[in-house]
Amino acid sequence: PPRHWLRRARRALFGDYKFAGTYAAHPDPAQEAFFFGLVREALEDGAISESQLRDEISQGHLRTDALELVGA
């Protein structure tokens, strides 16, 4: 179908997430706090690095304020 062709063209030209829209806030703020708490622990333990987080933010996989929320 044509709409699938348009999606494929968008992905080929701009990547998976460009122009895909934004995510709504989670209805339960405790879930958000839990997730970013886990990210903070992973940073402290060295399981992930700050540069990895910055890379994921630049690719649109993480919120732009993720580093602020983990306190990095």
Q: Can you give the pTM of this predicted structure?
A: 0.64
What is the full DSSP assignment across 5-26? HHHHHHHHHH-SSTTS--PPPP
pLDDT in tens, 11-56: 788 776 666 566 667 789 899 999 999 999 999 999 999 999 999 9
Q: If you average pLDDT over residues 1-11, what whole number do you get?
A: 80
User: By three-state DSSP, how is residue 26 classified?
Assistant: coil
Q: Look at 41 and 63; give whichever has higher pLDDT.
A: 41
Residue 50 and residue 20: Cα distance in Å, rounded? 25
Using 50, 70 and 90 to split pLDDT, how confident is the model at 9? confident
* Pairwise CA distance, residues 61 & 49, whole Å: 15
Contact 12, 18 (CB under 8 A): no
What's the average model confidence in pLDDT over 1-15?
A: 79
